[in-house]
Amino acid sequence: MKTYYKILGILIITLGLKACNDFVEIEPPKSQLTGAVVFEEPSTANAALIDIYTKLRDKGILTGTSVGASVNLGLYADELIYYGMLNETLSQLFDNALMDNNGLVQQYWNESYHQIYCANAVIEGCENSTQLIQTYKAQFIGEALFIRAMVHFYLLNIYGDVPYITTTNYEQNRLAVRLSKTNVYEHIIEDLKNAIELLPENYLTQDRVRPNKAVATALLARVYLYNENWLEAEMTSSSVINDGAYVLEALDNVFLKQSAETIWQFSPENEGFNAYEGNVFIFSSGPPPFVGLRNEVVSEFSSEDLRKSVWIKTIDDGENTWYHAYKYKQNSNTGTSIEYSIVLRLAEQYLIRAESRAKQGNLAGAIDDINKIRNRAGLTNTSAITTQQIIDEIIVQRRLELFTEFGHRFLDLKRTSKSDNVLPLTKAGWDSHDNLWPIPLNEILSNPNMTQNSGY
């Protein structure tokens, strides 16, 4: 009977395949396969893990679609303007008037914890497997730990104190309590350190879609930055920068699938498809059908800054002018995929190291890192001299370099305590409690241990 279920499980996966997905050599199962049998074979265990990457790419916070953080945290902060049809969910978001029953608030929470549950299932299944050899166990558990840490990172920075879920046990999870920011970060750091120990040095594929040690290290550098652990942030980002596998590309090449700047990315569902971001941000005539860049964002770029001409597109009808993000330039099937959705890239690591160096008084080192980003954009070396001038310049460069990429702008304003001063300048509905999203109403009603954020 055990052998029968093993064969049946593999057949379910095999029969569910269509065109090969670049995440792995086989596609994820079309129906969710559960039970220990999945983790008796590398192919089925691998498919269970790849199914999580598909979920990350297509749903929730990290998707490049219209429901992902690149769009919605851009609308929530001061990057994007909403031009679409009347929509209560998005109107609440854009006007900073979120309610605890908002569909997006619920969706981010549910999708994220579902992705975490799936990662925990992989960890538990691999740990309990008697058939998988240690090499496979290390790879799969390392990836699942990275995923768990990444998703919790965004949950923490959107909702504030959140449960850190490390099991598939329903009874434990349904009564989970919110942990403090400090405790959540401790869990994230622990997971990432363990992932780094387990993951291989090299990518499994040339497309850099499966995490290796450098991918987990890059996220750890960001976590240290957010924790103001300056020395650790500098050392960790330096290990990625000095890896030798990553190079700052010319601006035209940064978001191509073969970019040497990419640390981690999602491949499209099928060959010929491209990153979702192109479909979301690009429009050819005005008024924009969905979202456009705020004029305030565009005006921050100097005329000499090549990012303005390469990464921003101007649409003009003779009377009005609109702008859209043009980092991703493909919004149709190109036969052969050209652009993947890039989640982590080298430029952020230079900016992390610059800030951590400045905070430690290594101004020369910080300036050197800033100038690498500026010079790539066609700008001369920074004129910043003092510590505060250098830190201010880093924040400016983070805005100009990382706009419309997974909510960096909003999260930077929060972590530097600037949101309450900056966002009211462009967001009429902004209030201090908006720094955190509300805990979903359904979660409050179903879990007696769950509390609500102040102001909701």
> Domain holding 391: CATH number?
1.25.40.390
Residue 175 lies in a domain: yes
Q: How far is CA 150 from CA 57, 154, 341, in A?
A: 13, 7, 16
Tell me, what's the pLDDT at 35?
61
In a domain? residue 409: yes
Place of tokens 């998707």: 63
In a domain, 6, yes or no: yes
Rounded CA-CA distance 275/330 in Å is 8
Residue 304 domain-assigned? no
Residue 430 belongs to domain spanning: 2-269+344-446
Tell me whether residue 95 is in a domain. Answer: yes
Q: What is the pLDDT of residue 454?
A: 97
C-alpha–C-alpha distance, residues 59 and 68, integer Å: 7
- Contact assessment for residue 245 and residue 214, using Cβ atoms and an 8 Å cutoff: yes
Cis ω on the peptide bond leading into residue 440 (within 30° of 0)? Answer: no
What are 278's two structure tokens?
């192109």
Instruction: Quote the pLDDT of residue 40.
Output: 87
CB 439 within 8 Å of CB 452: yes
Side-chain-side CA neighbours of 289 within 13 Å: the count stands at 8
Q: Does residue 149 lie in a domain region?
A: yes
Contact indicator for 201, 210 with CB cutoff of 8 Å: no
Helix residue ranges per DSSP H, 160-229:
170-174, 181-198, 213-226
Domain count for the chain, please give it. 1
Please indicate, yes or no, if residue 320 is contained in any of the structural domains. Answer: no
pLDDT at 444: 96
SS3 label, residue 233:
helix
- Give the C-alpha separation, 322 to 294, whole Å: 8
Q: Which residue has the tokens 């992902």?
A: 68
Determine, yes or no, domain membership for 160: yes
Nearest to 113 by CA among 164, 77, 76, 78: 164
- The whole-number pLDDT of residue 7 equals 34
Whose CA is closest to 264, among 62, 60, 79, 68?
Answer: 62
Q: Compute mean pLDDT per 10 residues along the chain, 456 residues long, and list them.
A: 37 34 36 65 94 97 98 98 93 96 97 98 96 96 98 98 97 96 98 98 96 98 98 98 97 98 97 98 96 97 98 96 98 98 98 98 98 98 98 98 98 98 94 98 96 97
Distance separating alpha carbons of residues 71 and 80, to the nearest angstrom? 8
Type of residue found at 420: D
